Chains A and B, each alone.
Chain A
Amino acid sequence: MEEIKVNDYAVVMKNIVKEFYDVRANDNVNFLVKNGSIHGLLGENGAGKTTLMNVLYGLYHPEEGEIFINGIKQDIHSPTKAISLGIGMVHQHFMLARPFTIVENVMLGRKSRKGILLDTKETAKDLVALAEKYKMKIDPYAKIWQLSVGEQQRVEILTALYQGAEVLILDEPTAVLTPQEVDGLFVTLREMKNDGKSIILITHKLEEIVCIVDEVTVLRDGAMIGNVEVDCNTTKAELTKMMVGRDVLFNFEKSNSAAGEKKLTIKDLKVLNDKNFLALDGFSLDVHAGEIIGLAGVDGNGQKELCEALTGIRTVESGEVKLDTINIENKPPLFSIKKGIAHIPEDRHITGLALGWSLKKNLILKTFKDNSKFGLIDEKKIEDRWEKARVAYQIKANSGDDSARDLSGGNQQKVILARELENNPVILIANQPTRGLDIGATEYVRQKLLDAKGDGAGVLLVSADLEEILQLSDRIAVIYDGKLMGILPGGSDVKKIGELMMGKKLEVEQNAK
């Protein structure tokens, strides 16, 4: 390390250690970014990528290590300091105040030219010009909540640039975009590189960035594993092995058994979101027994509301949901549970589990009645139930009395799977079932979905992850702005799916089946 000439690099992070309580999120990490390059930071979920960049951005203080920016040692104690050093960051979860306009969000991070008064007009003008320069388009007076996810990301990038960023960190920027939007983002990034800026691209998916990055640093379990130069021809296998620490088989046995009869019918569904706008606007879809139908779409296009309406936790304004011939819309959740509808919710921590409760109790959340005697919980019965689940799903926990909070994301998801797949559901609604999980847990969950299908369940897989959709689905439905854009056969072209995700309707509707 000593012989490295810090002057050649925009960023040098040396021997960074960052701990959270008992987790060592960064363990002696060295990270170097060459001037004017695009640098990938690769690693599994939980590898410590975000933590490392939060250290660089002054949000976290490392326990050990030093940072050099353009060859000069710096103590980056706050984001303000980072910004003044020309470091900008676009966080994975956008840092925008939703009721504010774009220009208000931008002014927040900048000194006003008019002293204590806001320089709204001037900033708006600058923003439009800046956006044009980097081939983006924005309306500075639009409110954040009105914007699509991709537009919000552009706002974040512009904010950083406007603050004078010479080093721009993007945390998992591609995860929320359609394939076409990813292309657009890369155009912008190349433009920035041509301007001499350095860019750090964080991702846990190599293939998305392999063509644009010059170099990749791989993190695993908080440690730096290696630093590799890459180009379009670099193969995935080697880097994945560095990431995961073992060979990963990406091929699932996707049995192509013919789908069974129609089980779930969704017809002309209209549902409001929390802001009382139409989240689903006449959405229709059928799910058959023994198939996985993937519902692709950018986050926030009505997927969450659909899952909630199907499981009885959101009111249906009009339209029908039928299980076989029984109407289940606007019935209490217990009704659809009893009829065999299982649900893996989007948010493990809020809807999926009672985090403060024991694992045992989380397992029987839906079946309290069956697990009690004279109105009292039958401790023996749920201990047996837990033991069975623990073995069958390989849940790593000390005991069933641990609270759900103490488990890793993957093990939490296994608890949910154990609960939802008990009694072989007729319909399984899986909403972003692998989000935030590491590769091992992801493989496990996907296999379980395939198993459920094999057991005859109709699986509705909602995912913003196109790779996941393509890997598992027999049919691919695409949702945009609360409407079904069309249904494509499994294994369709990504670009084709991407078009539908951006609101282009399939010409011959529902032609695949």
Chain B
Amino acid sequence: MLSNIFTVSFFVSLLASTIRLATPILLPALGQIYTQRAGILNLSVEGTMTIGAVAGFAATYYSGSLWLGILMGMAFGMLYSLLMAVLSVTLRANQVIAGTALNILGIGLAVFFYRVIFGIQSLPPQVEPFQMLKIPFLSEIPVIGVILFQHNIIVYLSFVMVVITWFILEKTTFGLKIKAVGENPKAADSKGVNVSKYRYFAVLIGGIYAGAAGAFMSIAYLNIFTESIIGGRGFIAVAVVIFARFLPIRAMWGALLFGVASALQLRLQALGIDVANQLMLMLPYALTIIALVLASKKADFPSAYAIPYSRKER
């Protein structure tokens, strides 16, 4: 029986769907790398993603444009994270409390606006999602082609962002300043870096990525919006960032791990394996967290992690 299951085509489809399922973890995680590197712990990623999901869905539903949907997801993700930036940077609120509150508020707001816009319908409204974009030639390669080069465009872009994020953090003055305000804001300040400005940038970038990932869920992965559409991915993304020690490449591996566990879980369920449904659903979350904890040992947090900055304080 097992030999019937574990065929080459099984693995190919498993890995292809791994990459697809990793995307909504990878995108917000990359954004949170900026945010957390700058010393801000934003726990409202889940809520921000839900807002991005509804904004993207509504925009696409009424305009018919998927790109407008992604753009609106990003815009509303950024707008919503502006709240977090004001609370944590300007008002210097406790970040855990602010993030938790904004998370609950974000999910509530998203569902509220969905109801206001679409009312209650017997059949949930749908959009036509992003289609698969086969990369010419590359997608023809046996096995590899199917796994890597038969996805929708957002998936490709997300993985390109890994390299771009790394480049920005390591090779640009912007990245250096982001890292500096998280590591030693006092030093950055005394060297003429505007700490608040860069912390705002970092939180907003995180919001843009999260909003895009939310829109991905509603118009590129599913084609509907539901209240629990994000399903904890925002929290997993925050965890992935910490356990990946704030490095983009490692965050990618973390996201892929979640992807493979999700894909496996879906397939095992479809095969009708006799394990409680709830346990199977738990698998990707549990596995990701266990593996990341083991892989990370001791994360080197930015020294000013989750600490508000004020010039006056000694």
Report if B229 contacts A (CB, 8 A).
Answer: no
Which of B97-105, B175-183, B216-224 interfaces with chain A?
B175-183
Residues of A within 8 A of B193 (CB): 108-109
Residues of B within 8 A of A117 (CB): 171-173
Q: Within the complex, which residue of A20, A108, A118 is in contact with B188, where a contact is CB–CB below 8 Å?
A: A108
Chain B interface, DSSP helix/strand/loop, else mixed: helix
Report if B126 contacts A (CB, 8 A).
Answer: no
Q: With A and B bound together, what is the CA distance between A389 and B262 in angstroms?
A: 65
Q: With A and B bound together, what is the CA distance between A79 and B180 in angstroms?
A: 16
A118 in contact with B192 given A95-B187, A98-B184 (CB within 8 Å): no
Report if B233 contacts A (CB, 8 A).
Answer: no
Q: Within the complex, which residue of B184, B186, B187, B192 is in contact with A83, where a contact is CB–CB below 8 Å?
A: B192
Report if A70 contacts B (CB, 8 A).
Answer: no
Residues of A within 8 A of B187 (CB): 94-97, 105, 108
1/0 per position for A8-29, CB-CB distance to B under 8 A? 0000000000001000000000
Q: With A and B bound together, what is the CA distance between A448 and B82 in angstroms?
A: 56
A108 x B180 contact (CB < 8 A):
yes
Q: With A and B bound together, what is the CA distance between A112 and B193 in angstroms?
A: 13
A59 in contact with B311 given A99-B183, A108-B180, A118-B171 (CB within 8 Å): yes
B180 x A118 contact (CB < 8 A):
no
A116 x B191 contact (CB < 8 A):
no
B173 x A116 contact (CB < 8 A):
yes
Residues of A within 8 A of B174 (CB): 116
Q: With A and B bound together, what is the CA distance between A163 and B193 in angstroms?
A: 13
Residues of A within 8 A of B311 (CB): 59-60
Q: With A and B bound together, what is the CA distance between A116 and B169 in angstroms?
A: 11
CB distance from B313 to the nearest CB of A (A): 11
Residues of A within 8 A of B128 (CB): none
Q: Within the complex, which residue of A20, A79, A97, A163 is in contact with B184, where a contact is CB–CB below 8 Å?
A: A97
B186 x A107 contact (CB < 8 A):
no
Q: With A and B bound together, what is the CA distance between A97 and B303 in angstroms?
A: 9
CB distance from B13 to the nearest CB of A (A): 42
Residues of B within 8 A of A108 (CB): 176-177, 180, 187-188, 191, 193
Report if A100 contacts B (CB, 8 A).
Answer: yes
Q: Within the complex, which residue of B180, B186, B300, B312 is in contact with A100, where a contact is CB–CB below 8 Å?
A: B180
Q: With A and B bound together, what is the CA distance between A80 and B180 in angstroms?
A: 16
1/0 per position for B134-175, CB-CB distance to A under 8 A? 000000000000000000000000000000000000011110
Report if A265 contacts B (CB, 8 A).
Answer: no
CB distance from A203 to the nearest CB of B (A): 19
Report if B278 contacts A (CB, 8 A).
Answer: no
Report if A104 contacts B (CB, 8 A).
Answer: yes
Interface residues of B in 269-314 (CB under 8 A from A): 300, 303, 311-312
B172 x A116 contact (CB < 8 A):
yes
Q: With A and B bound together, what is the CA distance between A118 and B172 in angstroms?
A: 5
CB distance from B308 to the nearest CB of A (A): 17
Report if A91 contacts B (CB, 8 A).
Answer: yes
Q: Within the complex, which residue of B172, B183, B190 is in contact with A79, where a contact is CB–CB below 8 Å?
A: B190
Report if A57 contacts B (CB, 8 A).
Answer: yes
A95 x B171 contact (CB < 8 A):
no
Q: With A and B bound together, what is the CA distance between A33 and B174 in angstroms?
A: 37
A95 x B172 contact (CB < 8 A):
no
Most chain A beta carbons < 10 A, residue from B173, B174, B190, B193: B190
Residues of A within 8 A of B177 (CB): 108
Residues of B within 8 A of A20 (CB): 312
What is the number of contacts between chain A and chain B, taking CB atoms within 8 Å? 67
Residues of A within 8 A of B191 (CB): 79, 83, 95, 105, 108-109, 159, 163
A59 x B303 contact (CB < 8 A):
no
Interface residues of A in 48-106 (CB under 8 A from B): 57, 59-60, 78-80, 83, 89, 91, 94-100, 104-105
Residues of A within 8 A of B179 (CB): 97, 100
Residues of B within 8 A of A94 (CB): 187
Q: With A and B bound together, what is the CA distance between A176 and B311 in angstroms?
A: 24
Q: With A and B bound together, what is the CA distance between A20 and B312 in angstroms?
A: 9
Q: Within the complex, which residue of A79, A91, A100 is in contact with B192, where a contact is CB–CB below 8 Å?
A: A79
A91 in contact with B173 given A97-B183, A108-B180 (CB within 8 Å): no
A109 x B172 contact (CB < 8 A):
no
1/0 per position for A183-197, CB-CB distance to B under 8 A? 000000000000000
Interface residues of B in 228-242 (CB under 8 A from A): none
Residues of A within 8 A of B189 (CB): 59, 79
Q: With A and B bound together, what is the CA distance between A291 and B154 in angstroms?
A: 74
Q: Within the complex, which residue of B172, B183, B192 is in contact with A80, where a contact is CB–CB below 8 Å?
A: B192
Q: With A and B bound together, what is the CA distance between A91 and B190 in angstroms?
A: 9
1/0 per position for B193-230, CB-CB distance to A under 8 A? 10000000000000000000000000000000000000
Q: With A and B bound together, what is the CA distance between A283 and B277 in angstroms?
A: 60
A118 x B176 contact (CB < 8 A):
yes
Q: With A and B bound together, what is the CA distance between A109 and B177 in angstroms?
A: 9
Q: With A and B bound together, what is the CA distance between A20 and B189 in angstroms?
A: 20
1/0 per position for A96-132, CB-CB distance to B under 8 A? 1111100011011100100011100000000000000
A98 in contact with B190 given A117-B172, A117-B173 (CB within 8 Å): no
CB distance from B300 to the nearest CB of A (A): 7
B192 x A104 contact (CB < 8 A):
no
A98 x B180 contact (CB < 8 A):
no
A107 x B192 contact (CB < 8 A):
no
Residues of B within 8 A of A109 (CB): 191-193
A59 x B180 contact (CB < 8 A):
no
CB distance from A140 to the nearest CB of B (A): 15
A99 x B173 contact (CB < 8 A):
no
1/0 per position for B54-95, CB-CB distance to A under 8 A? 000000000000000000000000000000000000000000
A118 in contact with B183 given A59-B190, A79-B189, A98-B303 (CB within 8 Å): no
CB distance from A34 to the nearest CB of B (A): 26
A112 x B190 contact (CB < 8 A):
no
B184 x A95 contact (CB < 8 A):
yes
Q: With A and B bound together, what is the CA distance between A79 and B186 in angstroms?
A: 11
A96 x B190 contact (CB < 8 A):
no
Q: With A and B bound together, what is the CA distance between A95 and B180 in angstroms?
A: 11
Q: With A and B bound together, what is the CA distance between A57 and B174 in angstroms?
A: 24
CB distance from B142 to the nearest CB of A (A): 40
Given contacts A117-B173, A118-B173, 5 further A-B contacts (CB under 8 A): A60-B311, A96-B184, A99-B300, A116-B173, A117-B171
The chain B residues found within 8 Å of chain A, CB to CB, are: 171-174, 176-177, 179-180, 183-184, 186-193, 300, 303, 311-312
Q: List 12 A-B contacts (CB under 8 A).
A: A60-B311, A95-B187, A95-B190, A96-B187, A97-B303, A99-B183, A100-B183, A108-B193, A109-B193, A112-B173, A116-B173, A118-B172
Closest 4 CB pairs of A and B: A109-B191, A95-B187, A80-B192, A97-B183
